[in-house]
Structure 1
Amino acid sequence: MALGLCFDEALKRAEMTRLIVTTDSSTAGVLQQAGPADLVIAIERRLVWGLLPSAAELDAFFAPRTTQSRGLHWLDDTPPWRVVEPGVGDRGLIELSAECDSVELWMGPEPNAQLILLWLLDHCRRERAAISKFVIRQLDMAVGGADPQPFAKLNPRILAPAQDCLELAGRAWRAYRAPTPQAWFDLLEADLTPLPRLERCVLDLLEELPHLASGLGATEARILQLIAPGGVHPFDVFPGHQKPNERGVYGYWEVGTLLDGLARCQRPAVSGLDEGPFALDMHNEPARLDRYRGSRLSRTEFGNAVLAGDENFCRHNPIRRWWGGTELTNERLWRWDRATRSLVVP
């Protein structure tokens, strides 16, 4: 039988009535094995880092699979065997939701999960038949941030996405994709109660813009704070479950790149990083990875001055990175003033 053929028959055979969508594949596997749902799909697309997909790619992500590139379809992070047996094939989210009794969105509080939630709700909000089956399960911890086994026994709080929730999701998603952070900042003046985790998400992401005085985002500043004793190993400053870096905006690869940016630049704020860059090539060579792991990091005098706000990192180093739909450069540097919680225009 072709993957997408006779879905009604496959649905009856598998008695698939409850679909869970989450943002971590290991947790999805545990939930699938534990049996709280007939099908669990993980979406691990990273939206807090790098260039966002184009408008056409965003529209196609949740649509039935046709010519989407690998990584640009909502089923790409789920093992094929998990979707073959129930006959899911290459279906789109709306098409699959229409044939299920319920769809549960298990989303953690971390910004990337909240952005995926905004994207998903915005895509589906005009499809009444599909959205009427949706409920949001509000998790209190990052889905991928701890041992996934306990998630199988959780019964997270439920939020049914009413019309005001859907409209807010659409507004917030457009704001994040805009070419400046202004519309995202303006959300702080709006009523965000229909999406209870959105205000924290808005602030967490704004805090990752370069700070007015230091030029560092909040995660970069936290890395420098943790290096203060000197002789600190690189992975000691990475975020994770029960680790001292509690910032949950960026993940493993992203924090590694940020540390590279602090240490491997024209005027470094960090010394002692003995290997790099932090990329897959390094991870594929055990000797290089061991050298990286054994590095002992210290702050430079410049790093001390930057953290104190006496020097600005961006004045001495080239900046070119993406924050949502905004390209940050030295010439076009949107900044964040934590003291006044205000956005500083270039």
Structure 2
Amino acid sequence: MGAGASTMKRMILTSSSGVGLTYADRADMVVPLIFRFVSGPLPTSHHLDNYLKGGSFRGEPDVRWSDLVVQSPQTGRAHRELGLVWFCETCGVELIELWFDPSPNNQLQLVWILDYLRAEPYMVERLRLRLVDFDLLGADVAGLRERTVRALDVTERDFEVARMAWEAYRAPTPELCLGLLSRDFPRLPFLKPAMEELLAELPSPITGLGATEARLLELIARGHNRTRELFQPGGLLETRVYDQWELGPLLEGLASGPMPAVAGLDPKLATLAPHDARGRNAAFRRSRLLLTEFGKAVLAGREDFRSHNPIRRWWGGTLLTNERLWRWDGQSRSLVAP
């Protein structure tokens, strides 16, 4: 629906994957939410709230909900300094659609934003959930404009499921997330598959590798030794959990430590700052990867990578260390406690 085609004011909340919706003429304003919840420590509730409340305060997040929003003809720059909810009320937004695809980070964003909005009566009455059953990233604008995407009203039960799932993912152990797999969420059909994909990234009881790490080793073993073909979106790795920027640290983890599984990573990477994207990119491109003998043994299930190498990595609210190493047994779909 074009901006001037009707008096109904529509807003779409989506992930950064859905930025193409800005040009698909389906709403007056598209708000892409930028958080990545699948790697690194989770942002605090305080940080997330400030991101949505807007305004600029010293020491608060540099990025706010309005920063990726294209200026709308109706409201001009009004969104820049207002909180999301306050903006919707002030500008009389009549319909707020949630567009989040099945990928794990999108599903985590969906449960987070539902949990946040459940306490806001103005928003609750105007929310619609779109069941986006395709990947938003890479979808062409014409396709997004024409596509039929089923819409549901958001119910109290949906808010309850979102709260439960978001709390489970933020908990200090993955046990509550495992509990979600035995439940049915017919109105949030992509939540359980996403949670299972996330659990598969916990280290295996046999190899000590998560699903994406294991796939990386398999591809390197087959001779795919260039990071570009491994990391590019829609590339060989076919990872749905991590984006291309999160794969670098994962590969570095496999190539460093007392017993590396991968050799050939450019040694300059060890000296570059994490935020030096250009330098790190170039170093990754210069790398020619191959498996070490130990890496081959890990891939074959004869060695456990984590028995020989340190780990300190966040999985949701769970900090994985060698002493507190939760593992995921994909065959029995069960957790192995430390």
> TM-score w.r.t. structure 1 length?
0.86
Question: 1:121-160 maps to which residues of 2 (within 5 A)?
Answer: 121-147=114-140, 150-160=143-153
Return 5+ residue gaps in structure 1 as ranges.
1-10
Counterpart among 47, 54, 78 of residue 69 in structure 2 = 78
Distance 1:279 1:79 in 2: 32
Match of 2:328, SS state, is: strand
Deviations 1:148-171 (A, max 9, x none): 553233332223221111100001
Distance 1:83 1:118 in 2: 30
Deviations 1:280-337 (A, max 9, x none): 665434xx74453142211111111111221111111110011111111000001101
Question: 1:37-186 maps to which residues of 2 (within 5 A)?
Answer: 37-65=27-55, 67=57, 69-71=60-62, 73-78=64-69, 85=76, 87-98=78-89, 99-147=92-140, 150-186=143-179
Match of 2:181, SS state, is: helix
Cα gap change, 1:231 to 1:61, in 2 (>3 Å): closer
Identity %: 42
Q: How many equivalent residue pairs? A: 330
* More off after superposition, 257-266 vs 275-284: 275-284
Distance 1:51 1:291 in 2: 25
Cα gap change, 1:167 to 1:55, in 2 (>3 Å): same
Distance 2:188 2:246 in 1: 26
Cα gap change, 1:145 to 1:304, in 2 (>3 Å): farther
Counterpart among 240, 243, 267 of residue 248 in structure 1 = 240
Counterpart among 241, 264, 287 of residue 256 in structure 2 = 264
Equivalent residue number for residue 200 of structure 1: 193
Deviations 1:75-114 (A, max 9, x none): 2343678997162232223223332110111111111111
Distance 1:34 1:145 in 2: 13
Cα gap change, 1:79 to 1:129, in 2 (>3 Å): closer
Return 5+ residue gaps in structure 2 as ranges.
none
Q: Does 1:324 align with 2:316?
A: yes
| Aligned partner letter, 1:137 | R
Contact 1:237 1:244 in 2 (8 A): yes
Equivalent residue number for residue 21 of structure 2: 31
> TM-score w.r.t. structure 2 length?
0.88
Equivalent residue number for residue 5 of structure 1: none
Match of 2:128, SS state, is: strand
Contact 1:21 1:41 in 2 (8 A): yes
Distance 2:257 2:95 in 1: 50
Shift of the alpha carbon at 1:262? 0.8
* More off after superposition, 118-127 vs 32-41: 32-41
Question: 1:229-248 maps to which residues of 2 (within 5 A)?
Answer: 229-230=222-223, 232-238=225-231, 240-241=233-234, 243-248=235-240
RMSD (Å), alpha carbons: 2.6
| Aligned partner letter, 2:67 | D
* More off after superposition, 289-298 vs 252-261: 289-298
Contact 1:16 1:86 in 2 (8 A): no
After superposing on structure 2, the runs of 4+ consecutive aligned residues of structure 1 that deviate more than 6 Å are 80-84
Distance 1:61 1:290 in 2: 32
Match of 2:11, SS state, is: strand
| Aligned partner letter, 1:276 | L
